[in-house]
Amino acid sequence: MNQDMAEPILQMDKTSKSFGGVQALRDVSFDVFPGDVLGIIGPNGSGKTTIVNCITGFVKPTSGRVYFKGEDITGRQPHKVADLGVTRTFQIMRPYYSLPAYKNLVIPLFSPRAKRTGGWRGGGRLGNRQTIAIDILEEIGFERDSYIPFKKTSTLPTGYLKRLELARCLALKPEIIICDEVFSGLSMSEIASMVPLIQRLQDEGITIVMIEHRLRELFQVANRVMVLNFGQKLTEGTPTEVMADEKVKEAYFGSEEVEEVMIYA
User: Exposed, middle or buried by CB within 10 Å (0-12, 13-18, 19+), for 20?
Assistant: exposed
77 contact, one of Mg ion, ligand ATP, another protein, none, CB 5-8 Å limit per kind:
another protein
Which of 11, 16, 46, 49 contacts Mg ion by CB under 5 A? Answer: 49
Which stretches within the chain are classed as H helix? Answer: 48-56, 78-83, 101-109, 112-117, 129-139, 158-171, 188-203, 215-221, 239-244, 246-251, 256-264
Q: Which of 91, 130, 184, 232 binds Mg ion (CB under 5 A)?
A: 91
Tell me whether residue 17 or residue 88 sits nearer to another protein (CB atom): 88
The CB-of-126 to Mg ion minimum distance in angstroms stands at 33
Segment interacting with ligand ATP, rule: CB under 6 A, options 19-27, 99-107, 116-124, 201-209: 19-27
Q: Could you give the C-alpha distances from 126 to 144, 167, 188, in angstroms and in order?
A: 21, 16, 36
- Rounded least distance, CB 19 to ligand ATP, Å: 3
Q: Choose the binding region for another protein from 18-26, 43-51, 134-142, 166-174 (rule: CB under 8 A).
A: 166-174
User: Using CA atoms, how far apart are residues 103 and 151, in angstroms rounded to an integer?
Assistant: 10
Candidates 2, 44, 98, 189; binder of another protein (CB under 8 A) is: 98
Q: Based on CB atoms, which residue is closest to ligand ATP, 38 or 137?
A: 38
| CA separation for the pair 134, 151 (Å, rounded) | 12
**Residue 44 burial by CB count (10 A; 0-12/13-18/19+): exposed, middle or buried?**
exposed
Q: In degrees, to the nearest 5, what angle opens at C-alpha 231 toward C-alphas 226 and 234?
A: 40
The CB density around residue 263, as the number of other CB atoms within 10 Å, is: 8
Among 172, 221, 222, 227, binds another protein (CB under 8 A): 172
Q: Binding of ligand ATP at residue 44 (CB under 6 A)?
A: yes
**Binder of another protein out of 18, 91, 99, 122 (CB under 8 A):** 99
Contacts to Mg ion by CB under 5 A: 48-49, 91
Applying CB under 6 A, the residues found at the interface with ligand ATP are 19, 22, 24, 42, 44-50, 91
